[in-house]
Amino acid sequence: MVKRTHSSPYKLVIGGEEKYLCQCGLSLNQPFCDGAHKLAKDEDGNRLCWYDDAGKRHEHSGEFLDIRTF
């Protein structure tokens, strides 16, 4: 399991073009940001949460059923 602590993308400028790299781990367009970090904007950093394929947040309860994978 990987704990993600960033809640916003990392901006890169390549050849004058802005690109944003995902740092939250929720983007379906890895390694680029697709705005999915907005799902975790109000997430409590002291709780362990995961997101299903529909983007619904679940608090960890000891099992990871239907956990989103890449």
What does the pLDDT profile of the chain (70 residues) look like in tens digits? 556 667 789 999 999 999 999 988 889 999 999 998 888 888 777 778 878 888 888 887 666 566 666 5
- Nearest CA-CA partner of 37 in 59, 9, 10: 9
Q: How far is CA 20 from CA 64, 66, 67, in A?
A: 29, 28, 25
Question: What pLDDT is attached to residue 47?
Answer: 77
pTM of the model: 0.64
**Residue 19 CB neighbours (<10 A):** 14
How many Å apart are CA 65 and CA 6, to the nearest integer? 24
CB atoms within 10 A of CB 25: 16
In the structure encoding, which two tokens stand for residue 68, read together? 């989103």
